[in-house]
Amino acid sequence: MLVAALAAVLAAGLGAGVRTTFGGQAAVDEPQYLLTALSLWEDHSLDISDELADRRWSDFHDSELPVQTEVLDGGRQVSPHDPLLPLLLAAPMGLGGWLAAKLALAVLAGGVAALTVWVAVRRFGVRPWLAGAGTAVVAASPPLAVYGQQVYPELPAAGAVLLAVAAATGPLGRRGVALAGLAVVALPWLSVKYAAVAAVLAVLVLWRLARSGRVTAALSLAGGLGVAGVLYLGLHRLWWGGLTVYASGDHFTQTGETSVMGVDPDYAGRSLRLVALLVDRAYGLAAWAPVWLLAVVALAALARRRPDGWVLLALPALTGWAMATWAALTMHGFWWPGRQVVVVLPLLLLALLWWADRVAGPLGRAAAALLGLVGLAATAALLVDGWAREITWVSGFELVDDPLYSWARVLLPDYRGDLAAGDWLRHAGWVAVLAGLALVGWRQGADRRPFGRTPDPTATGTVTADPNEPNDPNEPADRPSLTRA
């Protein structure tokens, strides 16, 4: 856990000094979060009108700040972004400015990495050395290393999802239920775009409780979540003037809050993102860290083998991927690649670690290690060019001096705009490759041989007790397997 945490903190911390754009150390939506954090620290208010008037953003943004806020009654200006991230960063921002805020996020990234190792070992039986090494490599690679210091809610949301899964795959006593509930409630307060993932996690936890006969606990959790939902809508109506934060955004006053997903969305066209989010030439995960290709193999093996708790990895991950595919306005925005799916990447990483340990065998682990090193090389190249101010996190990053990325671009489609004939061919080729990877994983999942190690107790759906976890008096002795449920 310590190794993974240090790798995440180091990679993200070094990236904090790289400019977000050529016009600022923090740019795009980052200034909105930082100004709100500053207002919460100094004024205990979400109103950033005085910070805007005093040009407090000039400490971290060189040019004029783009307008995002609509002037509300009484002259208030409330940023159209949910407030939990600014609340988390209020003290670092107030005491140390923008750099302290980014370094605080880097420390949080280390916590997420450590928790990933813990969940992999304690909940899914992955060997500690493999969980630690694998998490360290992925956490120090794009996009997790980048969003470990970018002032966006992506990394905190990934941590909340991971907390919910850690609780839901455990005994689910009173503390576990409370922790899962708090994590679910936190997600929409980080951003409303995480509401679907939060809802799936909530349903899965309630399902577990109901299936184990704990109706009172399930009803209590459902009631608590219902109250939290009413408070969320009421407070948004009070503070932002609508059901979401987008009601206070100048861009949405004419088109409405739902236009954040598009005024006339082409859902058929967006379906290309099912593949593009992984293999787009600039914005795909595999372009920078090709180890994510193996997540397709891991998910297929997970679905075939169905170890205890697999649904809590697969369903929220697929929900997050679906939201990034069909609900997001674009995947090619003014941000670092992979932003829309960061929230569920720890779940894909857990599936990948389980696959590498339980299914892949020596050859699969060697492939994962090799592809993981490519991601580390990408981080190193980005940091070198970023510190030299040749690129930034959202401007010119495709020009990075990374030969591995340059060679990969030749094989990857460019999904921006209308696809050329060559890109359609590449797209078809990658569809076939991903289908082949899924087939490999599905076939591997059917083979329950232990590959030279102790047989996998999860292969039979048996729940093994954690000797390091105390017995919970609220947990029935005959807790049913999530697989059977």
**CA atoms of 160 and 163, how far apart (whole Å):** 5
**CA atoms of 186 and 85, how far apart (whole Å):** 10
Q: What one-character-per-residue DSSP string does 58-117 give?
A: GGTB-SPPPP-BPP-GGG--B-SS-SHHHHHHHHHHHHHHHHHHHHHHHHHHHHHHHHHH
The angle subtended at Cα 83 by Cα 206 and Cα 42, nearest 5°, is 140
Give yes or no for residue 463 having a pLDDT over 50. Answer: no
Give residue 250's pLDDT. 67
Using pLDDT thresholds of 50, 70 and 90, give the confidence band for residue 82.
very high
Give residue 253's pLDDT. 58
Give yes or no for residue 136 having a pLDDT over 50. Answer: yes
Give residue 256's pLDDT. 66
User: Where are the domains positioned within the chain?
Assistant: 1-152, 168-264, 265-457+481-485
Give residue 454's pLDDT. 40
> Please, what is the end-to-end C-alpha distance for the chain in angstroms?
31
Using pLDDT thresholds of 50, 70 and 90, give the confidence band for residue 257.
low
* Prediction pTM value: 0.90
Name the residue among 63, 33, 35 with its Cα closest to residue 48: 35
Give residue 344's pLDDT. 97
**Using an 8 Å Cβ cutoff, are 61 and 23 in contact?**
yes
Give residue 246's pLDDT. 87
**CA atoms of 13 and 46, how far apart (whole Å):** 28
Q: Of all residues in the chain, what percent carry a pLDDT higher than 90?
A: 74
* Strands, E assignment, 224-321: none
Q: How many residues are present in the chain?
A: 485
Partner residues linked to 69 by β-bridges? 249
Whose tokens are 């990895």? That residue is 313
Average pLDDT rounded to a whole number, residues 248-267: 72
Q: Is 191 helix (H, G, I), strand (E, B) or coil?
A: coil
Give yes or no for residue 459 having a pLDDT over 60. Answer: no
Give yes or no for residue 387 having a pLDDT over 90. Answer: yes
Using pLDDT thresholds of 50, 70 and 90, give the confidence band for residue 452.
very low
**What tens digit of pLDDT does each residue of 259-296 get?**
677 777 888 889 999 999 999 999 999 999 999 999 99
Give residue 476's pLDDT. 38
